[in-house]
């Protein structure tokens, strides 16, 4: 499969979305496993958001990509903020909260032309 470039690195063009994941506690382990199956089969991009499951989707992703299981440097994590949190004051707070829920210290920066 042909790869695409993101932030100067080539990745598979298919990623995983986590909308509607993390909403039900009884599905948590099954959803973690679904993400891991994707990662084990070449997925490098995971899309999540603070609004998915009120942050539970980000916690789910954190569990799925635990540092002992996957190399963080090989993954591109994408998260989004609620429009109500997109102000100059609230955006940094939302970013920090997402990073904490994802148990990581960075998102990959992408410059769009």
Q: Quick one: CA torsion of 32, 107, 46, 28, rounded to 10 degrees?
A: 20
Residue 41, classed as helix, strand or coil, is: coil
Residue 52 annotated among the catalytic residues of the structure: yes
The answer to whether 37 touches 16, Cβ cutoff 8 Å, is: no
| Residues in the chain, total | 113
| CA diameter of the chain | 43
Which one is catalytic: 52, 54, 70, 106? Answer: 52
Tally of CA atoms within 13 A in the half-sphere of 99 that contains its CB: 11
Instruction: State the catalytic residues.
Output: 52
């Amino acid at each position: 499969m042909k790869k695409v470039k993101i932030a100067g690195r080539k990745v598979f063009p298919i990623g995983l979305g986590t909308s509607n994941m993390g909403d039900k506690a009884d599905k948590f382990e099954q959803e973690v496993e679904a993400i891991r199956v994707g990662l084990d089969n070449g997925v490098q991009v995971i899309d999540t958001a603070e609004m998915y499951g009120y942050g539970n989707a980000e916690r789910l992703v954190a569990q799925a990509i635990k540092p002992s299981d996957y190399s963080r440097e090989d993954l591109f994590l994408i998260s989004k903020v609620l429009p109500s949190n997109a102000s100059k004051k609230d955006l940094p707070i939302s970013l920090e909260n997402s990073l904490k829920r994802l148990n990581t210290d960075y998102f990959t920066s992408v410059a769009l032309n």
